[in-house]
Amino acid sequence: MYSVRLTTKAHGVTTFHLFLFILILTAWLIYTFGWNYLVIFCASSFVHGLIETGLFFSGLRKGDMYYREFKLPKFLEISLRSMVEGPAFCVPAFFVADQFEAGNFLLAIFVAFLVVGTASFYLGWFDRKHHLEVKNSTELIISRRAMTRPKSLMLLSLVNSICIIALMFIPNADRIHAFTYIFSYAGFVLLFYFINFNLGVRYIESFNHETKAFEKPGLSMQIAGLIYDSAYEMTLLISPAYWLTYYLGLFS
């Protein structure tokens, strides 16, 4: 089973626009609410960078990123992807957790979902627009990330078990904040996948060993795969951006 991203050479430009948006949003949150938002921005970028680096060197992720006609070197691609895909969900999730403690949960959820939903739609809409404009299928860039390799699943289960234990050992006084953050993150990633799946640029594929070709499974498998990818795989895998930072005492 593979998590698939359908893009073109214009994807790097759109991603860079989102990076600038996230920088501006994080800067405003730092100015308004404090340095914790810089901490979660940096921590989520770092953890996501480690994840992306591991996916690349293990061969689990296939595909390239371009900025117009310029093919980004892998370290630049990983850096840009990490500073977008990490903070894009972690920073709003931290905002929701903070506002939940302050008694503004519904307003925070509405604002955060509006921001994440708009950014997700922007990315997905332009990926769809650009891939519909290509005149040759060779111009399409299909990035695939393997989800079900046995050794990877075993390692993922071990890492995620450690993450769950680490979250459970957070003291009671701060545990609600932690789990509000985790569930908010999962909700935002699900929203991203829902929007981009319906725009036709993010989906699940399986490999048919008889025909030696990739195939799209049915809707139920698409839903199950995307929920697994977002609510379990990515949510727990990037959770050290929160709990490790917490145990290191970097949150004020």
Given a contact cutoff of 8 angstroms between Cβ atoms, the answer to whether 96 and 184 are in contact is: yes
Residue 252 domain-assigned (yes or no): no
Tokens found for residue 129: 């627009």
The boundaries of the domain holding residue 112 are: 2-247
Residue 91 domain-assigned (yes or no): yes
Residue 55: beta bridge partners? none
Q: How far is CA 205 from the centre of its chain?
A: 18
Task: Identify each DSSP E strand in the chain by its residue range.
Answer: 2-7, 61-62, 66-67, 70-71, 141-146, 202-208, 213-215
Residue 44 domain-assigned (yes or no): yes
Residue 139 domain-assigned (yes or no): yes
Residue 148 domain-assigned (yes or no): yes
Angle between helices 36-58 and 11-33 (to 10 degrees): 150
Mean pLDDT, the chain, rounded, equals 89
pLDDT tens per residue, range 193-252: 999 999 999 999 988 888 888 888 888 888 888 888 777 777 888 899 999 999 999 998
Residue 155 domain-assigned (yes or no): yes
Look at the chain and report how many structural domains it folds into.
1
pLDDT tens per residue, range 37-72: 999 999 999 999 998 898 888 877 777 888 878 888
Residue 151 has pLDDT above 80, yes or no: no
